[in-house]
Protein backbone atom coordinates (compact mmCIF):
# COMPACT_ATOMS: atom_id res chain seq x y z
CA UNK A 1 0.00 0.00 0.00
CA UNK A 2 1.34 3.42 -0.90
CA UNK A 3 1.83 5.61 2.16
CA UNK A 4 0.39 9.11 2.00
CA UNK A 5 2.05 12.13 3.63
CA UNK A 6 0.72 15.67 3.81
CA UNK A 7 2.36 19.07 4.16
CA UNK A 8 0.59 22.16 5.49
CA UNK A 9 3.00 24.97 4.62
CA UNK A 10 3.84 27.99 2.51
CA UNK A 11 4.81 27.99 -1.15
CA UNK A 12 8.41 28.98 -2.00
CA UNK A 13 8.59 30.12 -5.63
CA UNK A 14 12.34 29.39 -5.53
CA UNK A 15 11.62 25.71 -4.93
CA UNK A 16 14.16 25.10 -2.15
CA UNK A 17 11.94 25.39 0.93
CA UNK A 18 8.25 25.20 1.85
CA UNK A 19 5.69 23.09 0.00
CA UNK A 20 8.04 22.54 -2.93
CA UNK A 21 10.84 21.09 -0.77
CA UNK A 22 8.34 18.97 1.14
CA UNK A 23 6.76 17.39 -1.96
CA UNK A 24 10.17 16.70 -3.53
CA UNK A 25 11.26 15.02 -0.30
CA UNK A 26 8.10 12.91 -0.03
CA UNK A 27 8.58 11.82 -3.64
CA UNK A 28 12.23 10.88 -3.14
CA UNK A 29 11.37 8.75 -0.12
CA UNK A 30 8.49 6.97 -1.88
CA UNK A 31 5.57 8.53 -0.01
CA UNK A 32 2.64 10.01 -1.98
CA UNK A 33 2.60 13.75 -1.27
CA UNK A 34 -0.50 15.86 -0.62
CA UNK A 35 -0.63 19.48 0.51
CA UNK A 36 -2.50 22.44 1.94
CA UNK A 37 -0.96 25.81 1.09
CA UNK A 38 -1.09 28.45 3.84
CA UNK A 39 0.66 31.33 2.08
CA UNK A 40 2.29 32.15 -1.22
CA UNK A 41 5.76 33.66 -0.93
CA UNK A 42 7.67 35.35 -3.75
CA UNK A 43 11.08 34.02 -2.88
CA UNK A 44 14.43 33.12 -4.35
CA UNK A 45 17.88 32.31 -2.97
CA UNK A 46 18.35 36.00 -2.06
CA UNK A 47 15.31 36.32 0.16
CA UNK A 48 11.56 36.67 0.60
CA UNK A 49 10.14 39.50 -1.55
CA UNK A 50 6.43 39.17 -0.80
CA UNK A 51 4.07 37.12 1.38
CA UNK A 52 0.40 36.57 0.60
CA UNK A 53 -1.44 34.57 3.26
CA UNK A 54 -4.51 32.61 2.21
CA UNK A 55 -7.89 32.92 3.91
CA UNK A 56 -8.20 30.53 6.86
CA UNK A 57 -11.34 28.99 5.35
CA UNK A 58 -9.41 28.09 2.25
CA UNK A 59 -6.57 26.51 4.23
CA UNK A 60 -9.09 24.50 6.25
CA UNK A 61 -10.97 23.36 3.15
CA UNK A 62 -7.73 22.13 1.55
CA UNK A 63 -6.95 20.08 4.67
CA UNK A 64 -10.48 18.66 4.78
CA UNK A 65 -10.45 17.79 1.08
CA UNK A 66 -7.34 15.67 1.62
CA UNK A 67 -8.25 14.10 4.97
CA UNK A 68 -11.84 13.29 3.92
CA UNK A 69 -10.59 11.20 1.03
CA UNK A 70 -7.08 9.85 1.70
CA UNK A 71 -5.74 7.76 4.54
CA UNK A 72 -2.92 10.13 5.50
CA UNK A 73 -0.22 8.46 7.63
CA UNK A 74 1.60 11.60 8.73
CA UNK A 75 1.30 15.37 8.38
CA UNK A 76 3.98 18.03 8.68
CA UNK A 77 3.37 21.70 9.26
CA UNK A 78 5.76 24.43 8.09
CA UNK A 79 5.06 28.15 7.60
CA UNK A 80 1.67 28.90 9.21
CA UNK A 81 2.08 32.70 9.35
CA UNK A 82 -0.83 33.86 11.56
CA UNK A 83 -2.68 33.00 14.76
CA UNK A 84 -5.87 32.55 12.71
CA UNK A 85 -4.27 29.96 10.44
CA UNK A 86 -2.73 28.09 13.38
CA UNK A 87 -6.10 28.04 15.14
CA UNK A 88 -7.86 26.79 11.97
CA UNK A 89 -5.24 24.08 11.39
CA UNK A 90 -5.23 22.87 15.02
CA UNK A 91 -9.04 22.82 15.27
CA UNK A 92 -9.39 20.96 11.97
CA UNK A 93 -6.74 18.37 12.77
CA UNK A 94 -8.33 17.70 16.17
CA UNK A 95 -11.67 16.96 14.48
CA UNK A 96 -10.07 13.95 12.69
CA UNK A 97 -8.56 10.76 14.01
CA UNK A 98 -5.24 12.59 14.18
CA UNK A 99 -2.45 11.18 11.98
CA UNK A 100 1.08 11.54 13.27
CA UNK A 101 2.09 15.20 13.24
CA UNK A 102 5.53 16.71 12.69
CA UNK A 103 5.64 20.41 13.58
CA UNK A 104 8.44 22.47 12.09
CA UNK A 105 7.78 25.76 13.92
CA UNK A 106 8.99 27.97 11.07
CA UNK A 107 9.47 31.59 12.20
CA UNK A 108 12.15 33.45 10.25
CA UNK A 109 13.63 32.80 6.78
CA UNK A 110 17.44 32.71 6.36
CA UNK A 111 17.44 36.29 4.97
CA UNK A 112 15.54 37.56 8.05
CA UNK A 113 11.96 37.78 6.71
CA UNK A 114 9.22 36.91 9.20
CA UNK A 115 7.24 33.79 8.28
CA UNK A 116 5.27 33.81 11.55
CA UNK A 117 3.72 36.94 13.05
CA UNK A 118 4.86 37.67 16.63
CA UNK A 119 1.29 37.53 17.86
CA UNK A 120 0.98 33.94 16.54
CA UNK A 121 3.66 32.48 18.85
CA UNK A 122 1.10 32.08 21.63
CA UNK A 123 -1.15 29.94 19.39
CA UNK A 124 1.80 27.87 18.21
CA UNK A 125 2.70 27.11 21.85
CA UNK A 126 -0.78 26.53 23.20
CA UNK A 127 -2.84 25.14 20.34
CA UNK A 128 -0.47 23.31 18.00
CA UNK A 129 2.55 22.19 20.02
CA UNK A 130 0.53 19.84 22.28
CA UNK A 131 -0.56 17.90 19.15
CA UNK A 132 3.03 17.19 18.06
CA UNK A 133 4.29 13.65 17.57
CA UNK A 134 7.63 15.36 16.92
CA UNK A 135 8.52 19.08 16.98
CA UNK A 136 11.69 20.15 15.14
CA UNK A 137 12.75 23.67 16.17
CA UNK A 138 16.09 25.22 15.29
CA UNK A 139 17.89 27.05 18.11
CA UNK A 140 16.24 30.51 17.71
CA UNK A 141 12.78 28.89 17.40
CA UNK A 142 13.37 26.79 20.54
CA UNK A 143 14.40 29.97 22.37
CA UNK A 144 11.18 31.74 21.39
CA UNK A 145 8.99 28.74 22.29
CA UNK A 146 10.62 28.03 25.66
CA UNK A 147 11.74 31.52 26.69
CA UNK A 148 15.19 30.06 27.46
CA UNK A 149 18.54 31.24 26.11
CA UNK A 150 20.39 28.41 24.37
CA UNK A 151 24.20 28.52 24.23
CA UNK A 152 25.65 25.42 25.89
CA UNK A 153 24.92 21.69 25.58
CA UNK A 154 23.02 21.79 28.86
CA UNK A 155 20.89 24.69 27.56
CA UNK A 156 19.96 22.45 24.61
CA UNK A 157 18.97 19.62 27.00
CA UNK A 158 16.91 22.00 29.16
CA UNK A 159 15.08 23.47 26.20
CA UNK A 160 14.27 20.03 24.77
CA UNK A 161 12.96 18.92 28.16
CA UNK A 162 10.86 22.09 28.40
CA UNK A 163 9.28 21.39 24.98
CA UNK A 164 8.30 17.89 26.19
CA UNK A 165 6.78 19.43 29.33
CA UNK A 166 4.85 21.81 27.07
CA UNK A 167 3.18 18.80 25.40
CA UNK A 168 5.26 17.53 22.45
CA UNK A 169 5.70 13.73 22.44
CA UNK A 170 9.20 14.11 21.02
CA UNK A 171 11.63 16.84 20.04
CA UNK A 172 14.51 17.16 17.62
CA UNK A 173 16.39 20.31 18.62
CA UNK A 174 18.41 21.09 15.49
CA UNK A 175 21.91 22.44 15.82
CA UNK A 176 22.40 24.04 12.39
CA UNK A 177 22.47 27.52 14.00
CA UNK A 178 24.88 26.71 16.84
CA UNK A 179 28.45 27.98 16.81
CA UNK A 180 29.91 24.46 16.72
CA UNK A 181 32.53 24.94 13.98
CA UNK A 182 33.33 21.34 13.07
CA UNK A 183 30.03 19.56 13.44
CA UNK A 184 26.27 20.07 13.27
CA UNK A 185 24.41 18.04 15.84
CA UNK A 186 20.77 17.56 16.68
CA UNK A 187 19.35 16.28 19.98
CA UNK A 188 16.42 13.82 19.93
CA UNK A 189 14.41 13.49 23.12
CA UNK A 190 11.05 11.77 23.64
CA UNK A 191 8.47 11.83 26.41
CA UNK A 192 9.22 8.10 26.83
CA UNK A 193 12.79 9.04 27.76
CA UNK A 194 14.61 8.06 24.55
CA UNK A 195 17.56 10.34 23.97
CA UNK A 196 20.37 10.48 21.42
CA UNK A 197 22.44 12.96 19.45
CA UNK A 198 22.85 12.89 15.68
CA UNK A 199 26.20 14.40 14.76
CA UNK A 200 27.57 15.15 11.28
CA UNK A 201 30.55 17.09 10.08
CA UNK A 202 29.56 20.74 9.47
CA UNK A 203 29.57 21.22 5.71
CA UNK A 204 31.11 24.50 4.62
CA UNK A 205 28.43 25.82 2.26
CA UNK A 206 26.09 28.76 1.92
CA UNK A 207 23.52 26.52 0.22
CA UNK A 208 21.34 25.64 3.20
CA UNK A 209 18.03 27.13 2.09
CA UNK A 210 15.17 24.88 3.18
CA UNK A 211 17.21 22.47 5.30
CA UNK A 212 14.63 22.52 8.10
CA UNK A 213 11.68 22.02 5.72
CA UNK A 214 13.41 19.13 3.98
CA UNK A 215 14.41 17.49 7.27
CA UNK A 216 10.88 17.64 8.76
CA UNK A 217 9.31 16.42 5.49
CA UNK A 218 11.65 13.42 5.50
CA UNK A 219 10.56 12.62 9.08
CA UNK A 220 6.88 12.81 8.04
CA UNK A 221 7.46 10.54 5.01
CA UNK A 222 9.14 7.91 7.18
CA UNK A 223 6.47 8.11 9.92
CA UNK A 224 3.79 7.63 7.23
CA UNK A 225 5.67 4.51 6.14
CA UNK A 226 5.60 3.04 9.63
CA UNK A 227 9.05 3.95 10.95
CA UNK A 228 9.28 4.59 14.70
CA UNK A 229 9.91 8.21 15.71
CA UNK A 230 13.60 7.55 16.40
CA UNK A 231 14.18 5.60 13.16
CA UNK A 232 12.32 8.31 11.21
CA UNK A 233 14.49 11.14 12.53
CA UNK A 234 17.72 9.20 11.94
CA UNK A 235 16.80 8.46 8.33
CA UNK A 236 15.79 12.12 7.89
CA UNK A 237 19.24 13.15 9.15
CA UNK A 238 20.86 10.90 6.48
CA UNK A 239 18.57 12.50 3.90
CA UNK A 240 19.46 16.09 4.85
CA UNK A 241 23.16 15.22 5.16
CA UNK A 242 23.19 13.89 1.56
CA UNK A 243 21.16 16.91 0.39
CA UNK A 244 23.51 19.50 1.96
CA UNK A 245 26.77 17.69 1.10
CA UNK A 246 25.85 17.48 -2.59
CA UNK A 247 24.56 21.02 -3.18
CA UNK A 248 23.46 22.14 -6.62
CA UNK A 249 24.98 25.64 -6.72
CA UNK A 250 21.76 27.21 -7.94
CA UNK A 251 20.95 30.89 -7.57
CA UNK A 252 23.28 33.60 -6.27
CA UNK A 253 22.33 33.64 -2.58
CA UNK A 254 21.56 30.81 -0.15
CA UNK A 255 20.91 28.04 -2.66
CA UNK A 256 18.66 25.00 -2.22
CA UNK A 257 19.85 21.57 -1.17
CA UNK A 258 19.95 18.53 -3.43
CA UNK A 259 16.78 16.54 -2.83
CA UNK A 260 17.76 13.63 -5.04
CA UNK A 261 21.25 13.02 -3.57
CA UNK A 262 19.92 10.53 -1.00
CA UNK A 263 18.74 8.24 -3.81
CA UNK A 264 22.31 7.36 -4.77
CA UNK A 265 24.28 8.46 -1.72
CA UNK A 266 22.36 7.18 1.30
CA UNK A 267 25.13 4.71 2.24
CA UNK A 268 27.73 7.51 2.13
CA UNK A 269 25.49 9.78 4.24
CA UNK A 270 25.03 7.01 6.82
CA UNK A 271 28.82 6.90 7.28
CA UNK A 272 28.93 10.68 7.72
CA UNK A 273 26.42 10.75 10.59
CA UNK A 274 27.24 9.50 14.09
CA UNK A 275 24.44 8.46 16.43
CA UNK A 276 25.58 9.10 20.00
CA UNK A 277 23.42 7.45 22.67
N1 LIG B 1 26.35 23.37 7.44
C2 LIG B 1 25.72 22.24 7.81
N3 LIG B 1 26.37 21.06 7.73
C4 LIG B 1 25.77 19.90 8.08
N5 LIG B 1 24.50 19.84 8.54
C6 LIG B 1 23.80 20.99 8.66
C7 LIG B 1 24.37 22.25 8.30
N8 LIG B 1 23.42 23.22 8.50
C9 LIG B 1 22.33 22.59 8.95
N10 LIG B 1 22.55 21.25 9.07
C11 LIG B 1 21.57 20.23 9.50
O12 LIG B 1 20.38 20.45 8.74
C13 LIG B 1 19.23 20.18 9.53
C14 LIG B 1 18.36 21.44 9.59
O15 LIG B 1 18.90 22.29 10.58
P16 LIG B 1 18.80 23.86 10.67
O17 LIG B 1 19.12 24.21 12.07
O18 LIG B 1 19.62 24.46 9.56
O19 LIG B 1 17.26 24.08 10.32
P20 LIG B 1 16.47 25.38 10.01
O21 LIG B 1 17.19 26.58 10.51
O22 LIG B 1 15.10 25.17 10.52
O23 LIG B 1 16.45 25.45 8.43
P24 LIG B 1 15.64 26.46 7.43
O25 LIG B 1 15.10 27.58 8.26
O26 LIG B 1 16.63 26.89 6.40
O27 LIG B 1 14.58 25.64 6.79
C28 LIG B 1 19.77 19.71 10.88
O29 LIG B 1 19.85 18.30 10.86
C30 LIG B 1 21.15 20.37 10.96
O31 LIG B 1 22.03 19.69 11.82
C1 LIG C 1 7.62 29.07 2.37
C2 LIG C 1 8.79 28.90 3.27
N3 LIG C 1 8.69 28.05 4.31
C4 LIG C 1 9.73 27.86 5.14
C5 LIG C 1 10.92 28.54 4.96
C6 LIG C 1 12.08 28.36 5.93
O7 LIG C 1 13.17 27.84 5.32
C8 LIG C 1 11.00 29.42 3.84
N9 LIG C 1 12.13 30.11 3.58
N10 LIG C 1 9.92 29.57 3.04
User: What pLDDT score does 1 carry?
Assistant: 87
Spans of all domains in the chain: 4-276
**Is residue 10 within 8 Å of 41, Cβ to Cβ?**
yes
Q: What is the pLDDT of residue 98?
A: 85
ipTM more than 0.90? yes
Q: Which of 163-172, 173-182, 209-218 has the lowest mean pLDDT?
A: 173-182
Asked if residue 215 has its Cβ within 6 Å of ligand 1, the reply is yes
Give residue 61 CA to ligand 1 midpoint distance, Å.
32
- How many whole angstroms from 193 Cα to the centroid of ligand 2? 31
Contact in structure between 37 and 55 (CB atoms under 8 Å): no
Determine whether the shortest distance from the Cβ of 159 to ligand 1 is under 6 A. no
Query: Which burial class, exposed, middle or buried, applies to 32 when counting CB atoms under 10 A from its CB (0-12, 13-18, 19+)?
Result: middle
Q: In angstroms, rounded to a whole number, what is the distance separating the alpha carbons of residues 271 and 111?
A: 32
The best mutation among 17, 20, 85, 254 to test binding of ligand 2, ranked by most ligand atoms within 8 Å of the C-beta, falls on 17
> Is the distance from CB of 183 to CB of 148 less than 8 angstroms?
no
Q: Give pLDDT tens digits for 231-272.
A: 999 999 999 999 999 999 999 999 999 999 999 898 899 999
> d(Cα 171, Cα 192) in Å, to the nearest integer?
11
Question: Which residue, 36, 38, 45, is CA-closest to 13?
Answer: 45
The 10 Å Cβ neighbour count of residue 196 is 17
If one residue of 9, 18, 37, 114 were mutated to test the ligand 2 pocket, choosing by the most ligand atoms within 8 A of its CB, it would be 18
Q: Give CA–CA dist 56/38, Å, rounded.
A: 8
Phi/psi at 16 (nearest 5 deg)? Answer: -95, -20
For 63-83, the pLDDT digits (tens) are: 999 999 999 999 999 999 999
Thinking of the domain 4-276, which architecture would CATH place it in? 3-Layer(aba) Sandwich (3.40)
% the chain with pLDDT above 90 = 90
DSSP-derived 3-state class of residue 228: coil
Amino acid sequence: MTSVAMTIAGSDSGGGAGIQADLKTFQELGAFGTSAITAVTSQNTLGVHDVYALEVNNVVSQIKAVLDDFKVGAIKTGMLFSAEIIHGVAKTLKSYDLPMLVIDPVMIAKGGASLLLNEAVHSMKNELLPLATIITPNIPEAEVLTGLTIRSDSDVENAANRLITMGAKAVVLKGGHRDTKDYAEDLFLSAKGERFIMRSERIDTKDTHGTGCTFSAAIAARLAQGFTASDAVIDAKYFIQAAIANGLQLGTGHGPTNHWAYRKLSEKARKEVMIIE
